[in-house]
Amino acid sequence: MTYMYEYPEYLKIKLPKKTARRYPAYELYLYGEGNYAEENKNLLLTGIPILFLPGNAGSYKQVRSLGSIALRKAEDVDFKYHFNFFSVNFNEELVALYGGSLQRQTKFVHECIKVILKLYRDGEFAPTSVAIVAHSMGGLVARALLTLKNFKPELINLLITQATPHNAPVMPLDKYLTDFYTAVNNHWILKAQDLRNLTTLSVAGGFRDYQVRSGLAFLPRLSQHDSALSVVSSAVPRAWASTDHLSIVWCKELILATIRAFFDLIDENTRQITEDPKKRMSVLHHHFVRHPAKIFEENPEAFTELKGAFMWITVKASKWTHSVYNDSDGRYFTFPLASHRKSYSHVYCANSMLDTSSWIYGCMNSNSSMCLEATDLSWRAELLPTTKVVMLKLQDYPSLSHIVIQVPPAVGNKYTLDCEFFREDSRTLQLPVTHLFSFGFSSSKILLNSTGLLYNVQLQHFNQIYQAFKIYVESHCQSLKERKPSVYRLHIPWSHEDSIIVAKVPSFTEISAKLHLAQPQSDSRVPELNIYSSPDCQYEVILKTSLLQVLGQVIRFHAGALPVYVISNILLTYGGQLSTLVSTGQCSDFSHELVRTAKPYKVEPLISVVVLLHGFNWFREMWESLSLPEVDAAVLSSQDAWFPLVSLTLFLFGTGIAYWSGVFFSTSLRLFSSLWFAVFRPTVLPKDNKLITRRSLCGVLSLALVSWTTCGAFAVLIIYLQYLFKVIKLHVNVRAEQSVLNGDSNCSKETSWNSRIHTVKKQSSVDSTSKATQSLSSSTTIAEAISSLKMHVTILNLFTWIVLLNLPSLVYWLKNLRYNVRLDPDPCRSTAIILVCILEILMNSSTSEVKSSKLLKITAKVPLPLSVAMLAFGRMHLYRVSHFVIFSLLLHVLCCAV
């Protein structure tokens, strides 16, 4: 977490009247603190402009960490260079769930960039472009700038995104959101060559980010070129940690890496961020991919003079260790390579002194024991948490005659240097991963009797996102002397998603092994567990499948599709209840029908066959000729995001959620009806309700007007509450009628008993028969009412999920109500009008009307194909779910009328 030393201030930048009038909810701010904030109030800016874009429900004040750290860094260089951090206030809109405002935000950012550049136009080093740092959905808005017709690409030269879902929306709740994604990604793919002057870095949060999985944060593969880079925070040097979705904005290590990169990107001549794309990418690689533990240099010198009156010592051994503590004399250790080239393939050196000075060199064609001029191999080093290491393949350096290790005087410092020569095959071991269905009962094991400093354990057949393992590394040492900690790195070669763990020696360490991206088909490299070990220690590596983490991968990659599976289960149950109504004349209970009807074998096989056939060109051509949308499972399969049994797992999860939501719903209805019954005590069931009345017609017109003039989701919520009220009222009336019937039954039994003891008149017998007939009629009425109640509860349960899927647009509308009464665009407007018409009729219907309909048999069979279609086309397009439900309910309405 970042810290600050002065109170933050946010100076509101005055926008042109036309811009302010067009975007009343949005604002632009300049960050400052202390004296710096006071100096900037006159807006005579001389720094380098950086624009921060917040994400979904994000605040413009999240720029504080970047601005504060950059200010401290500028003070360190006496303000030779400094940055001006601007931030956009998007009114904390829910753009990850409602896509209607994304285009508006994009256009506003364009206006902000023009306003920012105008603030510098009279300066000596006036910038011509703005760098952008964007969090979450702000990164997508920044990328969308390039799709605007009147946007000049040279206005931005650097874009850094933090936990931005670039590939697809997390929850595709409306068509505007998915269309926006399609437009942006298609533009970046088709115009990739035109975007080479824009350098893009995407930083993902790793496995702790439960909102945006890191696979979504990687830039689309086809758009990646020399100026695009995607990394996970766990692989970023000096960070080496996963972050959650919000903390990535203020994670100190990531912010420091970002600010250091900004200062290294400055061109001394223009005093702005360099216009050289190669330098920008080199800087980003230096700070976010592989840090050599040296201060960045654009063009490091090819040769370096080895100065100083140091002692030269020749080392001929293949393995060497040197400890330094309060050493006042400097030394050069030289390692002749001629004697090692035949026996060994690699040389590995490690240095526990984590300063930024050069320490390892290569001498060329030196026949003496000294080397006055050498190439600096420190740039080949890599920084790890406890050491900096260099591994060189001797074959790649045929001109080198010696390796030289520099050990400068160390007063008060204690550190260790290690070097060894080895053959690659002697340090590479293969560990096949366990099968998915081993469920953790079997394991793969390997034992290392460490005599070296580095081992690479190749994890064979570890290449799919559904695989998840626990790796246990146990270290034992013969002696009890103090040792350097071991470093374990899980290296994924096809993406920058490594994870690093530091462990004491001896210790027992648990490592989670799972992927953010599946292995591309064109890549044959294998993931590795790199063990930076301590000599003379034994390491035992055990690998087991982790069932919980496999389920975690399923949820991580497909949790957004769970509502589709829940609604599919409820729709199957609804169809089962209609079938029961056809066969028995009564509607069955929701829970019982869910268990009986909602079976995965009814829907999954057909989808699996279609996905399989999509692998053939002739089927795809036929599918496209019919103008059918792509099957979502086929799309996910092509993106390597679909894996065996995932649909079955999600279906079972959906069944469980549907069951317990039904139990909760029924319990809530009983509770509300009990409270109502205790207060009002109604006694009569409604008789012969008309489907369409003047009152209901007025309600339909009123809600249609509300939907058209305000917000469709608001009208849906109103009709939902009205339907809920009707169902609760029906539940209360049924309870009241049952109470009356029970009372009459007891009275009838008492009369019958008295008639056996006493002599009664004939008229008394007639009255008893009349009461029995009336009781039978009441029982039939109650049975019909209970059947209708069960059907209404299922429809209401189904409708509840539709309301939840449309809730984000309602929240967005309420939040922006002070700016505009009408939500525009509204993804729910037409859907709301249709739903209002359907539900106004359904809430007055009963099963007695439905079971006499000629269309009932057809209507009962429709939910099954609709459930299949929902799972086929709704996983990646949640807004389509409402259409399938509406079609099913529309047939129900026709049953009531025909």
- Taking phi over 0 as left and psi of -120 to 50 as alpha, with beta for the rest, 556 belongs to alpha
Q: Using N-to-C axis directions, what is the helix angle for 881-897 and 863-873, rounded to 10°?
A: 160
Rounded distance between C-alpha atoms, residue 275 and residue 265, angstroms? 9
Structure tokens, 335: 């390692």
Facing residues of 390 across strands?
Answer: 349
Query: Using an 8 Å Cβ cutoff, are 539 and 475 in contact?
Result: yes
| Single-letter residue type at 199 | T
* CA dist 600 → 522, 610, 873 (Å): 35, 16, 17
- Per-residue burial over 579-610, b if 16 or more Cβ lie within 10 Å, else e, is bbbeeeeebbbbeebbeebbebebbbeebeeb
Query: Using an 8 Å Cβ cutoff, are 56 and 95 in contact?
Result: yes
Euclidean distance between the first and the last CA atom of the chain, given in angstroms as a whole number? 66
How far does CA 287 lie from the centroid of its chain? 24
CB-based contacts of 605-611 (< 8 A; 24+ apart in sequence):
606/868, 607/631, 607/633, 607/647, 607/868, 607/871, 607/872, 608/633, 608/647, 610/634, 610/872, 611/637, 611/642
- Per-residue burial over 612-639, b if 16 or more Cβ lie within 10 Å, else e, is eebeeeeeeeebeeeeeebbbbbbbbee
Rounded distance between C-alpha atoms, residue 248 and residue 239, angstroms? 11
Facing residues of 346 across strands?
Answer: 393, 422
Rounded distance between C-alpha atoms, residue 384 and residue 350, angstroms? 10
Query: Using an 8 Å Cβ cutoff, are 294 and 240 in contact?
Result: no
Structure tokens, 656: 């469980």
Rounded distance between C-alpha atoms, residue 3 and residue 33, angstroms? 13
Which positions are annotated as active-site residues?
136
3-state DSSP: the chain helix, strand, coil percent, rounded to 5?
45, 20, 35
Structure tokens, 624: 């496209």
Rounded distance between C-alpha atoms, residue 232 and residue 218, angstroms? 9
| Single-letter residue type at 492 | I
Structure tokens, 363: 């001498």
* CA dist 154 → 55, 128, 759, 798, 885 (Å): 24, 8, 108, 50, 48
Output phi, psi for 843, to 5 deg: -70, -15
The closest alpha carbon to 337, from 413, 394, 256, 297, belongs to 394
Using CB atoms within 10 Å of the CB of residue 3, give its burial: 0 to 12 exposed, 13 to 18 middle, 19+ buried: exposed
Torsion, Cα 787 789 794 797, to 10 degrees, reads -170
Rounded distance between C-alpha atoms, residue 278 and residue 364, angstroms? 29
Torsion, Cα 794 799 804 807, to 10 degrees, reads -160
Rounded distance between C-alpha atoms, residue 338 and residue 773, angstroms? 112
Secondary structure, 3-state, 787-838: HHHHHHHHHHHHHHHHHHHHHHHHHHHHHCCCCCCCCCCCCCHHHHHHHHHH
> How many C-beta atoms lie closer than 10 Å to residue 474's C-beta?
15
